[in-house]
Structure 1
Amino acid sequence: MEAGTIDVLASDHAPKAKKIDDPFFEAPFGSPSAETMLTVVYDEGVNTGRVHPSRLVRLLSQNPAKIFGLYPRKGAIEVGSDADLVLFDPHEVWTIRRENQHSGAGYTLYEGRKCLGRPILTMQRGRVIVEGGEIKGKPGEAQFLSTRISKVTC
């Protein structure tokens, strides 16, 4: 990641309920991972010295916004941008647990994983939507953003 061969880190967040008796080849793709992605990537990347924090920001926010033609409205902290922000405590030690997740899946791939670093506040367009692990936003507050084809190089 730090070498620049990877431009984006993304999740195939798919909060489907786990069914043990489903046939293997009919299982849905993806996993419930959007909520834990920043923590796990920070813990494995920044905390191990593999990725600089500023590179992680580019991989998770700035570069995806550029690729989808949404930059600088998204992926930037500057006048005129949407103020989609995450406040992250790099010193908080915590354990990922299913019961603390908000996805409809009812499980997490990282059950029981101890991590160093945790999002403590999330803002969408300047409004607090998650604080201290509690959802503050309401369904329907998101907006569809039309985009254009991008020819950007990250």
Structure 2
Amino acid sequence: MRAFNVLRQYDESDVEPSWRAMLERIAPGGLLVEGTCDEIGRLCTWAAVSHRGPVSLTLSCRVASLDRPSTVAERLPKALIHRNVPGERIHELLSRLDHCWATAAPFSTFGPRVRWTETVRLLAASGWPVLNRPARWRLVDLTVRWTSTAPR
């Protein structure tokens, strides 16, 4: 089940009950994809949630218009959007991603997708649990294990 921009106006405390309500309508083994995107789809994030709980967080963006990766913070899923503050895991991810983006700046000579791919490679090399492979990185997707970004 895909639910985008549904929980954006809800309180953070409503997220888990809403996830459970949606998951009740999904067959065993199914997946809820809940997230947020901007109006034209250039910034998008989503949580994949199974019946056992959140599995992953994916960030996707139109890299040609990206100043820095942390720009996606304004479109984080409701469970994380208010957690992008020092001391929270999502803040650590976005800060590290920005650092890797800056480090990968020389790759921009080869285009923004190449720079993004190098950014994600650096992120993975620094120990972040990146779940998807380089073929997805080239599509400007980054998926990490939910536990690495879950609220503290």
Asked whether the two chains share a fold, i.e. TM above 0.5, the reply is: no
**Higher relative contact order structure (alpha carbons within 8 Å, sequence separation ≥ 6):** 1
TM-score, normalization: structure 2?
Answer: 0.31
TM-score, normalization: structure 1?
Answer: 0.31
